[in-house]
Each structure stands twice: as structure tokens, then as C-alpha cells.
Amino acid sequence: MTLAVVTLAAGKGSRMKSDLPKVLHKLAGKPMLDHVLTAAQTLGEATQHVVIGHGAEEVRKAFPDAELKWAIQAEQKGTGHAVAQALPDIADDALVLVLYGDVPLIKPTTLSALVDAAQNALALLTVTLDDPTGYGRIVRNDEGAVQAIVEHKDATDAQRQIREVNTGIMALPARFLKVWLPKLSADNAQGEYYLTDVIAMAVSDNVPVTALHPASETEVEGVNDRRQLAALERVFQCQIADELMAQGVALADPSRIDVRGTLKVGRNVSIDVGCVFEGDVELGDDVQVGAYNVIRNSRIGQGVSIETFCHIEEAVVAQACNVGPYARLRPGADLADGARVGNFCEVKKSQIGKGSKVNHLTYIGDATIGEGANIGAGTITCNYDGVNKFRTEIGDGAFIGSNSALVAPVVIGDGATVAAGSTVTKDVGSEELAVARGKQRNIGGWKKPTKD
């Protein structure tokens, strides 16, 4: 039996107080809908259908490369009506799994169990809440079998005492849906076509109804406002923190780490508070990450120490390097073993050779620095003429004095020295000393400016 996953993502989300469609609001750096689709992808060969409405084109554009079948719900007439929009593209012999684009923490293991239970039956996820206000109640008979789901607004006082509630997530054969959905009625308090009404239809047609339960309530919590989104963000980040610590990572405070992508770690990694990891990040063995660093799409090698308040993006840092504090490695920064980039330095699209040092207040852009070079404080590579970018090459063992400006394109040879304060516009040969600064004049009798 083929699997068709139908994710409902047509809601406006007015309580988010935003023009952005609700399912595109981000949790851990990616849209909530993305989390749901990723969980569904783990189920193997499945066709993914997404029902969109409010902000439909914006939702489409957010997933340009995904293999999705889109269905439009032009009018918001309830969950049953929403699923019906996708049904024409689903084969009669398929199994349908219904998910929600604003329920981002659903786990693949839970979905797999639900699908397994629905081969010739209707399987739904329920959860027991201390406060079930607002949720549809699971009505069971004396033998404990599920009979129906009654929405809160339509429930009697006795039914509102029931604490087991519907999550909305269910799986069932498409052939049943194609019979039951046309029979739905909007004669209820909301004036909508409830998907949950198919439960009573299943009971009436002697189709087995099985209720399963997620491992945690948070798996099935939906997002209606900013507070709920923030709460689920913390839940998700705490789960990641637990996984990292299980792998041996030392977290100074598990409640103060944010992973917005994939973080791979080696042995004996230490991460201080306030760090943010975005995209795909890899930390090698014995990496020490100081407080309040942002690392995005980068590889950090074994034994690297990253001091506080650094920003590292699309960079490669080899073994035993030291970075920061307050350093910025921009895309294309590539540090060889033992390189050092210190405080208030910026490196962009440049290679820093083995053991070379860029220690203070320096900009290195579009440059190649050899091994064992020393770049003095305040040095800049002048790589841009207002139109084009040019490269600077600095050889092995070169010494660049403080406050030097290297005007690209320029080559500084192996072992060369550039005197402090020089503006270098011509190549410097190996072992040469370049002095490129104006002659000092001392003027006697000069009067300092005074206030009027």
C-alpha cells in the first residue's frame, strides 16, 4: 500500500500578528512546515501533499526544490474540507497520513507506529491533558473503544470533563476517506467540515479505530501565537542539548545553546553559554568554544580554541588554531594548522598558512598568507578599487609591520619585511625590507589649536 502524506498548511495564523503565513514562522532556524515535511520523509516512499491557502504563493516559494504536490483550499471551511482538496490526487489504494504544518515537533517514530496501525483501520493520535479546554474530546464506550470525537464547542458538560483529546493527526486508507468526506456536515458550532467526524463514521461502518499516544505531549502541540512558538523552541533546543551531552559534549548551561541546523561533534568538546550554530557545523575532537559565538556552515578542526564573541561563517579552521576573541571569519576563510586570528580581526576569502598569526585589529581579504608569517596590528589588504577585487600574496615567514596597507594586487616574498606604517603598492622580493611611508618632519614652535 502506497503512502500519501497530507499536511494541512492553509491557515492564516492571525494570532501570530504577522503577514508571514503561520507555517513559515521558524523554529530552530527553519519553517515549522519544513520540520513536519522532514519528519514525514523518514517514512520511505511517500507522496507528500501540502494543502495551502493563506499566503499560498509565499509557501510554495519557500520550498522551491521539494517534491511536493500542492492543493489549494481557497476558503477555510475546516479540516475535512482541507483534506478533501488533496484527495483527487490520491489513489484509492493509498494509505493517507494527515499532518499539520503548525505541529513541528512530531517524531518519525510516532508517525511510523501510526502508519503501521492503519493498514486496514483508522489510527489516530490522542493525548491526555490536565487542562483539555479547547480540544476535541475522545468519546469511548464502556469497553473503552473509541466511538467519536466531539469538538469542545459542541461538547456537553459531561463530555468536557474528558481529558483525553484529539491531536488531529491520523492515518487511514484513502478508500474510506473517499466515502466519508462527502458525507461531512457543517452543522456545528463552527460551521465547518470537521475531519474528526470520520471517527463516528468508521465506528458506524465497523472499521476498527485505534488510538495511539505520542511519547510526549510536546510532539503534538500546535502553534497559534508567538508564546507557543517560543515555548516549543526551548523544548526543541533542550532535546538537542540532551543529545549533545549524551555524545559527551560539555555544555556550560544546556538551556543556553541554539542549534539551527546540524551540529556534528567529536570527543571532548566544550561549549560555553550563548552559542548559536546555524546550517551544517562540524566540531572536531577537543574543540573549545567560548561564550556567545555564532558559527554557521563551518568546519572546526581538532584542538581548536574559539574565544568569546566570534562570528564564523562558511569557514574552515584546521587543527590547533586559535580564534578570537571578537574575530570574524567570513565566507572563504581557510586557516591552516596552528594559525592564529586574534581580537578584532576579519578574514574573508583568504588562506592563512600553517602557524601564521593575524593577531590584532586587522583586515585580510582576498589574500593568501604562507606559513609562519606575522601580520602586525592594524594591517589591511586593500583588495577593492571600487569595481574589482584583487589578491594579495604574502610569503612564508614574512613580517608585516603594524598599520601597513597592502594595495592589491601585490606580492610580498618569503621572509620579506614591511616596515610599520607602510603603504605598499609594488611587489616586495624575498628577504627584502620595504619602507613605504612619508619622511617625518618635526616642526618647532607649532601652536596647538585652542578653544575660542
Looking at residue 130, which CATH number applies to its domain? Answer: 3.90.550.10
Q: Is residue 441 part of a domain?
A: no
Q: Is residue 278 part of a domain?
A: yes
Beta strands (DSSP E) in 301-414 are 305-306, 311-313, 316-317, 322-323, 328-329, 334-335, 340-343, 346-348, 351-352, 357-360, 363-365, 367-369, 374-375, 380-382, 392-394, 399-400, 405-407, 410-412
Q: What percent of the chain has pLDDT over 90?
A: 92
**Residue 8 is labelled as binding a ligand:** yes
Position 444 scores a pLDDT of 87
32 and 139 part of one domain: yes
Pairwise CA distance, residues 260 & 279, whole Å: 6
The answer on pLDDT for 189 being more than 90 is no
Q: Is residue 367 part of a domain?
A: yes
Residue 260, domain CATH: 2.160.10.10
171 and 311 part of one domain: no
Position 71 scores a pLDDT of 97
Q: Is residue 449 part of a domain?
A: no
Number of domains composing the chain:
2
User: What is the rounded average pLDDT for all residues in the chain?
Assistant: 96
Q: Is residue 439 part of a domain?
A: no
Is 360 catalytic? The answer is yes
Q: Is residue 40 part of a domain?
A: yes
**Residue 379 sits in which domain range?**
226-434
Position 449 scores a pLDDT of 79
Query: Is 336 in contact with 361 (CB distance < 8 Å)?
Result: no
**Residue 41 is labelled as binding a ligand:** no
The answer on pLDDT for 1 being more than 80 is no
**Residue 151 is labelled as binding a ligand:** yes
The answer on pLDDT for 209 being more than 80 is yes
> Using 50, 70 and 90 to split pLDDT, how confident is the model at 438?
confident
Give the predicted TM-score (pTM) of the model.
0.91
More confident position, 426 or 442: 426
214 and 312 part of one domain: no
170 and 283 part of one domain: no
